[in-house]
Amino acid sequence: MVRAQEHLLVVGRQTAIERIAAFLIDMADRQGELAQIELPMSRQDIGDYLGLTIETVSRVLSRLRDKGVLKFHGLRTLEILKPDALRSLCE
């Protein structure tokens, strides 16, 4: 129930980059706070879950990659290079 309430707050009050940063931090936490994580869904599904378009999800992920926050290892595997920077985006 708490996760559902937190999710509603994320979708309702945060910008696209804040939503994606919070989502990635949540995925890392669920997978044991590993630097390299597996995304459990496609970009389209992430967009649907966060209330964003697939284009916005792709654009934000690319921006985070270009800033050196993330590094991709395939379509659904990514490495969080700067976890503190990612956390600061969703606070």
Which two tokens mark 10? 């994320």
pLDDT digits (tens, 9 = 90+) for 30-87: 888 777 899 989 999 999 999 999 999 999 999 999 999 999 998 889 999 999 999 9
Question: Does the predicted TM-score (pTM) go above 0.85?
Answer: no
The CATH number of whichever domain residue 82 belongs to comes to: 1.10.10.10
Q: List, edge to edge, every strand of the sheet that includes 77-80.
A: 36-38, 77-80, 70-72
- Residue of 44, 45, 39 whose CA lies nearest to 75: 39
Residue-level pLDDT at 3: 59
Number of domains in the chain: 1
Angle of the 43-50 helix axis to the 54-66 helix axis, nearest 10: 110
Structure-derived torsion over alpha carbons of residues 73, 19, 49, 68, reported in degrees to the nearest 10: -10
Which two tokens mark 60? 């934000």
Domain holding 73, by residue range, is 2-89
């869904």: which residue's tokens? 41
